[in-house]
A and B are shown apart, each in its own frame.
Chain A
């Protein structure tokens, strides 16, 4: 059973190194969403792809040991809820739903543009967990399918 798990050692090794770089890059994209191309969605997809890389290279069994899928589910839902909460906060403090209620800061600074970086982070979390969970769910499907056939 074990040998079929994951790909070759080369792939695993490369993945082990590169995945952190990819995640780091994703985080960078998310954090600089308000300054440069990209943002929560793009960064989130990048992080999710990194996780998928692990999934492909190491197989399903490793992922269940490495990550707490239930936690990812919770993270996904809660990030969406936080997004809404920020929106409602904008409603309460600012002029409308999702209105900016933090100072704009200085243009081209990392800590600027009010709530947008916050939202970017939340979206990034949501997208990365969401996308990964979706693919993970599809992978689970496949598992049960094989089991049925045998």
Chain B
């Protein structure tokens, strides 16, 4: 009974914000914060109460093949927790950050729509409904990328919108083919019927979906929009996009479709591994050469998604555990890094690393949290990124694919290198005299958003401890690995 509220609340908040706003931004802030706090509470509650069970919510009182259903299992609630957690911190960060733009209430409304879309994609068990929610989320993402109103932002948004629409059309094509073959849109039902059909159908639809959702997840070669869009958006939106957006729309859907619906076909796992490795290596190389701090972070998102995809593609219990864990961790530290970048941009007025320097003294909180996040993304103990990468390494070697472990190692080394570069140019070294003129104030809410994520960077390491892992990650892995189980759980057999 909880899941529909996770979609209704942000939608309602969005409409109420547009309804009552009109120069009264404080109401928009109050509404959105209330909404997101309640969403986070609900999603945590639902995650904890779900465990390894599966609950189905059937819309409008009809029964399953006829209606849209919402599936509440460990995987979806896990993703919901991530989305709403990052949303809350992002909103905390936004409150003072977004004042520099005109008409903030529009921002909050779009933000709520974004959350509604992502929550919908995650919660739904109906493939067309997934498409619709995806479009809602994408639509608000396009608008939010362009929110700043600078030329580059419009450019990024336009490119993103065109490429996103092409991939959405591809997804719709895939959905159409699936519908024509199975005559149903409920994913569990499709999963049930697919094995009785020609396997070629799965392959073709799978390839189309891989391209379509691969673009959402920014897997190379479908990644070209990401560095533009993520670096142009306002910082809290960059954090949302990099932290959870590409994961809920891309990776989550890929996992759900390819494991629970297509049943984990071996050839797709191979493709996952290959494109994961390509994304990981090329992404990190691209990041290494960047001087624009947000572009650097954006390219790292591609690289880190590569890790997740490799973990998923290994298709062993450990590999998926690593992938899912890394997904969670990446959301946290990448959001944190984007907040740091936002503070840097706000205070120095530039995104070019070469024009910063010596900010560690002026921005102690930012510098400290950024170091934690950097070490975390580079995979150094005791931060969470270390453990998820370690699990992926172990899984790759255990699965008899040490090559991927070595590529992941190389990626990790280069990640460290590029974040050391970022640290050195932004926070240490000689102070840039021109930069301190426009030093804006970092508000308390922003600080707390960063600190809370930094603390999470440390705390989520604890999820590897078996006792906690059994409560948190293991049910998620079980859902993914239990391929036909999804059919039985959803259809109630």
Contacts and interface: CB of A to CB of B under 8 A. Distances in A.
Nearest to B58: A96
- What's the dominant secondary structure at chain B's contact region? helix
Contact of B8 (A73, A84, A100): A84
A100 B61 CA distance: 8
Contacts of B18: 73, 76-77
B485 interface: no
Contacts of B15: 77-78, 80-81, 84
A59 interface: no
Contacts of A81: 12, 15-16, 19
Contacts of B8: 84, 87-88, 97
Nearest to B109: A77
Given A74-B19, A99-B61, A91 B12 contact: no
Given A88-B8, A99-B61, A77 B16 contact: yes
Interface residues of A, number: 20
A94 interface: yes
A96 B62 CA distance: 8
A95 B22 contact: no
A95 B60 contact: yes
B16 A98 contact: no
Nearest to A98: B60
A70 B167 CA distance: 35
Contacts of A87: 8
Nearest to B57: A96
A76 B19 CA distance: 8
A130 B61 CA distance: 29
Nearest to B9: A84
A90 interface: yes
Interface string B1-32: 00010001001100110110010000000000
Contacts of A99: 59-61
Contacts of A90: 60-61
Nearest to B8: A84
Given A84-B8, A84-B12, A88-B8, A96 B19 contact: no
B12 A100 contact: no
A78 B16 CA distance: 7
Contacts of A100: 60-61
Contacts of B58: 95-96
B366 to A, nearest CB: 37
A91 B15 CA distance: 19
Most buried by B among A70, A90, A96: A96
B61 A96 contact: yes
Given A70-B22, A84-B11, A94 B61 contact: yes
Contacts of A77: 15-16, 18-19
A97 B60 contact: yes
Interface string B171-206: 000000000000000000000000000000000000
What are the 5 tightest A-B residue pairs by CB atom distance, in nearest-first order? A95-B61, A99-B61, A77-B19, A77-B18, A98-B60
28 contacts: A70-B22, A73-B18, A76-B18, A77-B16, A77-B18, A77-B19, A78-B15, A80-B11, A80-B15, A81-B12, A84-B8, A84-B11, A84-B12, A84-B15, A87-B8, A91-B4, A94-B61, A95-B60, A96-B4, A96-B58, A96-B59, A96-B60, A97-B57, A97-B59, A98-B60, A99-B60, A100-B60, A100-B61
Interface of A: 70, 73-74, 76-78, 80-81, 84, 87-88, 90-91, 94-100
Interface of B: 4, 8, 11-12, 15-16, 18-19, 22, 57-61
